[in-house]
Chains A and B, each alone.
Chain A
Amino acid sequence: MNFDDTPQEAAFRAEARAWIQANAPKQYEDELRKVSLGRTGLKNANMLEVAKAWQKKKADAGWACLHWPKEYGGRGSSPIERVIWQQEEGPFGRLSGMFIIGHGMCGPTMMAFAGEDQKRKYLPPLASGEKVWCQLFSEPAGGSDVAGLRTRAEKKGDDWIINGQKIWTSGAHYSDYGILLTRTDPTVAKHKGLTMFFLDMKSPGVEVRPIKQASGQSDFNEVYFTDVKIPDSQRLGAVNDGWNVSLTTLMNERMSIGAGVATGFPELFDFCNSLMLEDGPAIEDRSVRSRLANYAVKASGLRYTSMRAISALSKGERPGPENSIGKLVAGSMVQEVAMYALDLQGAAGVLSGPEDAEVAGKFQAMLLRAPGTRVEGGTDEIMRNIIAERVLGLPGDIRVDKDVPFNQIPTKGRA
């Protein structure tokens, strides 16, 4: 048992570190280090532009999308090298947020299902950040139950005509392309009538409307499709086989380990270390210490769970569904941490303006953003189902709509 690199890994780390040292946008380093949930922007610069510039620089030097093949804009690296890169990139990795969906989900789906010409055309600019991609799966009627989606695609000559609405689409407002899951046959069971496409987000009939979230920010969008035309050549996988195509997309999400999930613990520990309560330093208060210790072991437990997964990767094993615990644990923890930090602030905890609030309102922003983390990318409940079914081998839910033609599934609860 050890934490040492193999000689090959050490050489890769040294090379990555030297290049990052020489090329990273250091002027933003301090600010990026302070990024926390609900506080992700830069004060005096456009995050989008800084992120795109850093991505392009990486791509030009061969450090973008490390695990992708070279011909598609990657480096052909092993999974463990990708982890080492993320460790070395440190705070600058926070500039990659807007590319996660494109690189982690859209790219791999294109690689598996697009034609060779298409891959060579679309993937390199996706890798370099010149083009940004989004993923159009969720709908008002299909969130956790993605296969319940209703956006229609109808064949007309060599084209497909799309009508419907998507929701919760991260980054649609700055995306150039998207992968889109549609219903092509409503007369068969819901999983069997879906088809996947990719499309140009500038196509006529595509309308992106930002959603104002409960936190007041707008990271997500609604996307409306009105008679949008997609050529059949942009279909991914067979007609009505979209469910299987989407599984490839979602499987790739799980490979994104190593970057670490935000728990809020380091921020809370720092805060308690400097906070003075009426009776003395917060960190010397028995009840504060007890709460901190409980969060500390969750945070360290997640850190070492991820190291175990990295070790498995290093041996060439594939990480399994057990990695779902990171998101499940961190999501509710960050919410509790934010509430507790405000509790320690007492009456003044109610103030959320950066000029008046403790630590510039970091925990207030965290509190308001936190409910979303327990929902996005699979709710806590879906994560528990995944663990129960795929790790522990418990039976799947009884699905009353499994063998029913989609157009006969009830659409309302109380009539």
Chain B
Amino acid sequence: MNFDFSDDQKQMRDAARKFLTEQCPPKAVREVLDGKAVYDKALWKGLAEMGFLGVAIPEEFGGAGAGHLELCVIAEEMGRANAPVPFSSTVYLAAEALLLAGSDAQKQKWLPKIASGGAIGTLALFEGKGNPSPNAIKLQASGGTLSGVKKPVPDGAIADFAVVAARTGSSGRDSDISLFLVDLKAGGVEAKALTNLDPTRGQAELTFKNAKAEPLGATGEGWSILTQVLDRAAVLLAFEQVGGSDRALEMGRDYALDRIAFGRPIGSFQAVKHILADMYVSATLARSNCYYGAWALSTNASELPEAAAAARISATQAFQHCSKNNIQVHGGMGFTWEFDCHMYYRRANATALTLGSLSYWEDQLIDRMRKKNAA
């Protein structure tokens, strides 16, 4: 048994960490947090040059053709650095949808651009409150055009293209839903940036008015493809969450070692030690669930749906737990804008809601476990 990343993959993780430590310090994240930039363009360019944007994109489409285990280790580092770039929407959602369902021409058109940093992509799924559900999709497709409103769309205000879930039938079945590819710069789509919990990762409202769209995958297959895209993105995003959890834990640990109160480091008080020990426990459980998700993702195993839901739940819980308790260990200083703790708290809670919230994934996990049990 070798339930671990290979030495090459670990080297890639080290390289990504080194790159991000240099190119994405908290100061750079704050440029976006404080609204001085919409995203970190220089970092985005650098990620493309390092080959990280196309790490799981095949070479024939301009990527590095490494694979999903490699993408997992990069994702972990992106989460650790709290990178203010449209990585998850472009790489986990748009690129994965194209890889799963795109025609050769569609892949040729967009994947090389993703890998080179020349195009930002996203998935336009939600229409207001609620979790992923075919019934919640009202945006209408007709005659090669789309009309309706999508929000929140991650990185929607800066995206060049979107994979859009639209209604093509009214039977009340999953087959009413189809996916489309829309060039957001070609007219017919209005984008409005929305204020959200985590300013380092934008959210937008996209209004489609007879916007030209081409089908992505077969008509009526949209929901089935979406489910697979969400599972794949759930594993990748879970690695970001694990990276963020680890960083929040480290920040708390370091502060507990340095901060003196009552004449001793606060990390020598059991009340503080036990908070940090529990953070370690949740981060470790999440990491282990994520490794299983990574294995299932990289081998396209039949266990992927269950593994993805477990990784998603566990990593969401861990990041929320670690980021909130990092603030607690910091005390009052943790609640200032000046300290970095809140950046992870914001990211943790925003990430917990994209792709569907915890209660949605809990429901999914039990459904999937029952199916396996029945089989």
Contact = CB atoms under 8 A, between A and B. Distances in A.
A, B in one complex: yes
Given A1-B295, A289-B366, A314 B1 contact: yes
B289 A389 contact: no
Nearest to A269: B369
Contact of B270 (A283, A385, A391): A385
A297 B310 contact: yes
Given A297-B310, A305-B284, A310-B3, A1 B369 contact: no
Given A387-B277, A387-B281, A1 B69 contact: yes
Interface stretch (B24-32, B196-204, B225-233, B260-268): B260-268
A242 to B, nearest CB: 27
Contacts of B281: 325, 328-329, 387
B3 A384 contact: no
Contacts of B294: 1
Interface in B256-305: 256-257, 264-265, 267-268, 270, 273-274, 276-278, 280-281, 284-286, 288-289, 291-292, 294-295, 298
A381 B274 contact: yes
30 contacts: A1-B6, A1-B69, A2-B2, A2-B295, A269-B369, A286-B363, A294-B317, A296-B365, A296-B369, A297-B289, A300-B310, A301-B310, A301-B314, A307-B288, A310-B3, A311-B1, A311-B3, A314-B2, A322-B284, A328-B281, A329-B281, A381-B274, A384-B273, A384-B274, A384-B277, A388-B276, A393-B253, A393-B257, A395-B267, A396-B268
Contacts, number: 156
Interface class of chain A by DSSP: helix
B313 A293 contact: yes
Contacts of B267: 388, 394-395
A289 B367 CA distance: 9
A322 B221 CA distance: 45
A24 to B, nearest CB: 24
Nearest to A272: B366
Most chain B CB inside 10 Å of its own CB: which residue of A2, A9, A294, A301:
A301
Interface in A255-304: 269, 273, 283, 286, 289-290, 292-294, 296-298, 300-304
Contact of B284 (A296, A301, A393): A301
B292 to A, nearest CB: 5
A155 interface: no
A293 B342 CA distance: 28
A23 B365 CA distance: 39
Interface string B339-375: 0000000000000000000010111011001100100
Interface class of chain B by DSSP: helix
Nearest to A290: B362
A4 B265 contact: no
Nearest to B362: A293
A384 B271 CA distance: 10
B5 interface: yes
Contacts of B284: 301, 305, 322, 325
A304 B289 contact: yes
A5 interface: yes
A7 to B, nearest CB: 13
Nearest to A288: B366
A292 B288 contact: no
B363 A392 contact: no
B270 A397 contact: yes
Q: Which 3 A/B pairs are nearest by Cβ-Cβ distance?
A: A301-B285, A293-B362, A388-B273
B14 interface: no
Most chain B CB inside 10 Å of its own CB: which residue of A1, A4, A329:
A1
B49 interface: no
A1 B280 contact: no
A303 B365 CA distance: 17
Contacts of B273: 384-385, 388-389, 392, 394
Most chain A CB inside 10 Å of its own CB: which residue of B1, B289, B373:
B1
B60 interface: no
Nearest to B361: A293
B4 interface: yes
B373 A273 contact: yes
Contact of A297 (B270, B298, B317, B359): B317
Given A300-B288, A308-B288, A397-B270, 12 more contacts: A1-B295, A2-B1, A2-B3, A4-B1, A302-B288, A304-B289, A307-B1, A307-B3, A310-B1, A385-B273, A388-B273, A394-B257
Interface of B: 1-6, 69, 249, 253, 256-257, 264-265, 267-268, 270, 273-274, 276-278, 280-281, 284-286, 288-289, 291-292, 294-295, 298, 309-310, 313-314, 317, 359, 361-363, 365-366, 369-370, 373
Interface string A307-320: 11011101100000
A285 to B, nearest CB: 10
Interface in A375-415: 381, 383-385, 387-389, 391-398
Nearest to B286: A301
A308 B310 CA distance: 17
A296 B274 contact: no
B4 A297 contact: no
Contacts of B373: 269, 273
A322 B318 CA distance: 17
Given A300-B310, A302-B285, A395 B363 contact: no
A266 to B, nearest CB: 11
Most chain A CB inside 10 Å of its own CB: which residue of B6, B253, B361:
B253
A297 B370 contact: no
A297 B3 CA distance: 18
A300 B289 contact: yes
Given A304-B291, A394-B256, A297 B314 contact: yes
Contacts of A294: 313, 317, 362
A308 B4 contact: yes
Contacts of A392: 249, 253, 273, 276-277, 280
Contacts of B285: 297-298, 301-302, 305, 325, 329
Contacts of A292: 366
Nearest to B253: A392
Contacts of B6: 1
Given A395-B267, A396-B268, A1 B310 contact: no
Nearest to B249: A392
Most chain B CB inside 10 Å of its own CB: which residue of A5, A314, A384:
A384
Contact of A395 (B249, B268, B361): B268
Contact of A283 (B253, B256, B313, B370): B370
A398 B291 contact: no
A296 B253 contact: no
Contact of A391 (B2, B265, B280): B280
Contact of A397 (B268, B286, B289, B309): B268
Nearest to B279: A392
Contacts of B274: 381, 384-385, 388
A374 to B, nearest CB: 14
